[in-house]
Amino acid sequence: MKKFFDEFEIYIGAFCQGLMVLILLAQVVSRYIFNNAFSWSEETAIILFILSVYFGATAAIRRNQHLKLEIVLDKLSPKNRLKLEIFNNSLFALFNVIILFGIVPIVLRLRTNGTETAVTGIPKWYIYIVLPILFVLMIIRLIQDSGIKFKKIKNIDSNADSFEQNN
């Protein structure tokens, strides 16, 4: 159960992507075999694709697999590499906070206006509310990753201190 909560973003993202593929497959079969297209399939597939991208981005942070330039990191000592990665996490978290300040008013406006999707009639704020939640989750994952890196720096420092004391 702990593994599920540690990586639930992967499972939800994979579910969204799998469901998207099934819907698009059903759309193709319906259109070309039965000459009858589903009106809701494209809109639903787009929503599922967007969700899978954001859940995937959160999972990438959790697994430390997000986009980064390793050329600079490879030239640093392990301690300085960790410090730079913590700094990068801080910048990434700041970026997410800025995005949050932009997206929350949009979600509130969509809720107030009662705007719905064109075909399915789903209130748009139901879809958009997931984005601030995922940005907050990304910030939490970045803080978790930075905490792990801080512990590694302390281990490097304590190992260096014990090495110096033994010599």
pLDDT tens for each residue of 38-66: 889 999 999 999 999 999 999 998 888 77
Residues 78, 61: Cα–Cα separation, whole Å: 20
Instruction: Note whether 158 and 89 are same-domain residues.
Output: yes
Query: Where does residue 67 fall: left (phi above 0), alpha (psi -120 to 50 degrees), or beta otherwise?
Result: beta
Instruction: Note whether 150 and 75 are same-domain residues.
Output: yes
From 66, 99, 122, give the residue that closes a domain: 66
Instruction: Note whether 96 and 74 are same-domain residues.
Output: yes
From 19, 43, 66, give the residue that closes a domain: 66
pLDDT score, position 160: 64
**pLDDT at residue 163 tops 70:** no
Instruction: Note whether 60 and 84 are same-domain residues.
Output: no
pLDDT score, position 68: 72
Instruction: Note whether 93 and 164 are same-domain residues.
Output: yes
Q: Which domain holds residue 143?
A: 68-167
pTM for the model: 0.84
Could you write out the DSSP letters of every residue in 19-52?
Answer: HHHHHHHHHHHHHHHHS---SSHHHHHHHHHHHH
pLDDT score, position 89: 94
pLDDT score, position 43: 93
Instruction: Note whether 87 and 137 are same-domain residues.
Output: yes
Instruction: Note whether 58 and 84 are same-domain residues.
Output: no
How many domains does the chain fold into? 2
Instruction: Note whether 91 and 167 are same-domain residues.
Output: yes
Instruction: Note whether 95 and 112 are same-domain residues.
Output: yes
Instruction: Note whether 57 and 129 are same-domain residues.
Output: no
pLDDT score, position 164: 58
Closest CA to 47 of 59, 35, 55, 38: 55
- List Cβ<8 Å contacts ≥24 apart for 122-128: 127/47, 127/50, 128/103
Residues 51, 17: Cα–Cα separation, whole Å: 8
Residues 65, 103: Cα–Cα separation, whole Å: 25
Q: What burial class does residue 73 get, using C-beta atoms within 10 Å of its C-beta: 0-12 exposed, 13-18 middle, 19+ buried?
A: middle
**pLDDT at residue 88 tops 60:** yes
Instruction: Note whether 118 and 142 are same-domain residues.
Output: yes
